[in-house]
Amino acid sequence: MGYFLHKNNYYLKEKDKEIIFIEKANFGIPGGENWIVLLSNDKIYYYSIINNKIIKEEFDNSWRFDEYSDFDIMQNIPGTHIGNTTSSFGDFNNDGTDEIIYISFGQMAYQVGIYAYNIENDSFKPYTGWVQFEIIDKVNGPAPVEYLTYKGMYGFKVYFPNKKTENNNWIFYTYYIEQKKYIEVGKIVE
């Protein structure tokens, strides 16, 4: 197994892969510094490191937006963009720790989800279910997911496909602290 040394002398493991992106994060994973790393195999790793030892490691697959659109579909997503992927991290709900937003392109549906580290379960948990979306125009946009303030609430809107009525809508979601998740508020009326 190959080992790679990043800029702060921590060792990360993955055979024959290059580090494309590395950044310190604040996921709230206890016991050390939290890092997010993108490798050349499009896997995103989350690490908690203490005294140059990895004490927690998780990973997810990622997608590159240039394979699905000619424009940057992440342009309206805040936080730190993870390389050329459809993932970003930041404190989107202002609770003091970072969350991760994923935009995925599965065979059955395009979906967006937001995840955060849960100390009780010692793993990342969803702050949303997987929310389906469509790209309106792969050349000109607009981006299918956007963070904004709507009717005094901060959250994100998603272009939602309605296959039954063929009447697509922009749906708004905002974070509810009591439930620790994003809740659908309803259609955005322009």
Q: Round to whole Å and give the CA distance between 116 and 17.
A: 26
pLDDT tens per residue across span 102-113: 888 877 788 899
Structure confidence by residue, pLDDT tens digits, 66-75: 777 788 888 8
What span, in angstroms and rounded, lies between the C-alpha atoms of 4 and 9? 9
Alpha-carbon distance of 116 to 127, in angstroms, equals 7
Can you point out the beta strands (E) in 43-98?
Answer: 43-50, 53-61, 80-81, 87-90
Q: Where are the domains positioned within the chain?
A: 1-61, 63-190
**Model pLDDT for residues 80-97, shown as the tens digit of each residue:** 999 888 889 999 999 999
Q: Listing from the earlier edge strand, what are the strands of the sheet with 153-160? A: 145-150, 153-160, 169-176, 181-187
Helix (H, G, I), strand (E, B) or coil at 141: coil
pLDDT of residue 1 exceeding 50: no
Can you give the C-alpha Rg of the chain in angstroms? 17
CA pair distance 103, 111, nearest whole angstrom: 6
- In this prediction the pTM is 0.81
